Structure 1
Amino acid sequence: MRALHIMIVEDEPAIADSLAFAIGREGWRASHYALAGSAEAALAQAIPDLLILDIGLPDGSGLEVLKRLRHHSELPVLLLTARAEELDRVLGLELGADDYVVKPFSPREVVARVRAILKRVGSRSPAVCSSEPMFVHEETARRIYFAGTPLVLTPCEYRLLATLLARPAYVFSRAQLLDALGDVAEDSFERTIDSHIKSLRAKLRQVRVDIAPIVTHRGFGYALEPQ
């Protein structure tokens, strides 16, 4: 069973380090981002099991990050705030936060709240595992199922996803994926792969918003990394 992934978005290194240490002691995996922009870029590539999000960030408001996130994801979110105003806490909950902690706080308290949130959200938490495979590929029928749902794919999308499925976690270059399209490719430009990957991701999100199995490896290409 994989370790839970907790993403920390906090610009104060001492706080982030203490949280990461406490999370690691629980056997969970922590990732840390100091800026809203870098955190949102990471969230676009892979969804963690829970997000610990500071309200006050150097490049923007954590509340705005939360607002944008809730347009497409029910990812559990625990807010961190140094502000004492009740309005900030209430607004965070109204925007969809699952809980909040006011600074200063004990890392042990945060870990306890994380546990409580994951227990409370239950079946909607991406930490819940299933015995069923995430993808099922019926090669003879040229059909691919994702989380039990048949995907409606164009010929290009089907060949791309089938290629990625054939070698999970292998990073394919755009040139390799373009070759895999064969005679169904609309043109010979490698950047057309980006467009097909974008449409594939959109179709996968329609089935499960909490999982992003197609991962971008910047400067190299794409890989399928089922969670």
Structure 2
Amino acid sequence: MQPPYEFPGTAAADGAARVLVVDDDPTVAEVVTGYLHRAGYVVDRAGDGPTALTRAAAHRPDLVVLDLMLPGMDGLEVCRRMRDRGPVPVIMLTARGDEDDRILGLEVGADDYVTKPFSPRELVLRVESVLRRSRPVTAGSRLAAAGLSVDTEARTATKDGRELALTLREFDLLAFFLRHPGRAFGREDLMREVWGWDFGDLSTVTVHVRRLRGKVEEDPARPRLIRTVWGVGYRFEPGEAGL
């Protein structure tokens, strides 16, 4: 018998991406489900955390749209448990103005978030963007510098031979830095190039840079690889380690 929340790796029979929508508001869940269905996705629904984990165990989702405020088990805990069982992209739904909660969502591994009230069309675009960036990239699949190695086709990353546990956006951010060593990028540039958006809360970038530093730097408090460029943004400096 498999563990209760382990993803078995099943896919939708017709090849369409499967999205799990988790929200205790039936109106929100119904509207989001309808828009995703019309966009060609297979959609599962859950109204609370335990049901969401059970549904994810029965049919592995390609992406989860997850409300932060859920009865019994909040979205943060659901996200943690899903992350413990395997990588899956998560878009968090949060109430407008709850910046601390949004940052917590990013800290536990959410790849993106949308604030309520939101446009269902915007949410569908976010789903498409996250899924597109989660697919393997074949061209120039291997990147390496400063003891870091990234295989964009297999979507694996290592530091000094040890595999790194990265979320979707952390992986994309690291690959982007490795492709552009020595260049400074503003948070707006990173939002556009890594997230694929010309707008959005720039604290998303800040949180992901901090999380990535915690996984690739010897001393995240004194980063030597991902440097802060005051008044600009960030720069990846491979230093003497080189390629």
**TM norm structure 1:** 0.52
Provide the C-alpha distance between the structure 2 equivalents of 1:81 and 1:90, rounded to a whole number of angstroms.
10
Q: Does residue 103 of structure 1 match 2:126?
A: no
Q: Does residue 71 of structure 1 match 2:80?
A: no
What amino acid does structure 1 have at the position aligned with 2:103? Answer: V
Q: Deviations over 1:51-70 (max 9, x none)?
A: 00001011221001101111
Between structure 1 and structure 2, the one with the greater Rg is 1
- Per the alignment, residue 51 of structure 1 pairs with 64
- Per the alignment, residue 41 of structure 2 pairs with 28
For 2:129, what is the secondary structure of its paired residue?
A: helix
Kindly state the Cα deviation for residue 83 of structure 1 after the two structures are TM-superposed. Answer: 4.9
For 1:65, what is the secondary structure of its paired residue?
A: helix
Q: Which has the higher contact order (CA 8 A, sep 6+)?
A: 1
Kindly state the Cα deviation for residue 46 of structure 1 after the two structures are TM-superposed. Answer: 2.1
8 A contact 2:20–2:56 mirrored in 1? no
Q: Where does 1:78-227 land on structure 2 (aligned, <5 Å)?
A: 78-123=91-136
Kindly state the Cα deviation for residue 2 of structure 1 after the two structures are TM-superposed. Answer: 1.5
8 A contact 2:44–2:55 mirrored in 1? no
Q: Deviations over 1:38-93 (max 9, x none)?
A: 11111122211110000101122100110111112110100001152211111111
Provide the C-alpha distance between the structure 2 equivalents of 1:7 and 1:98, rounded to a whole number of angstroms.
15
8 A contact 2:22–2:47 mirrored in 1? yes
Q: Deviations over 1:180-221 (max 9, x none)?
A: xxxxxxxxxxxxxxxxxxxxxxxxxxxxxxxxxxxxxxxxxx
Runs of 4 or more, structure 1, over 3 Å off, are none
Contiguous gaps of at least 5 residues in structure 1 = 125-227
| Percent of aligned pairs sharing the same letter | 43
For 2:21, what is the secondary structure of its paired residue?
A: strand
Q: How many residues align?
A: 124
Provide the C-alpha distance between the structure 2 equivalents of 1:79 and 1:93, rounded to a whole number of angstroms.
8
Contiguous gaps of at least 5 residues in structure 2 = 1-13, 138-243
Match of 1:16 among 29, 39, 42: 29
**TM norm structure 2:** 0.49
Kindly state the Cα deviation for residue 118 of structure 1 after the two structures are TM-superposed. Answer: 0.8
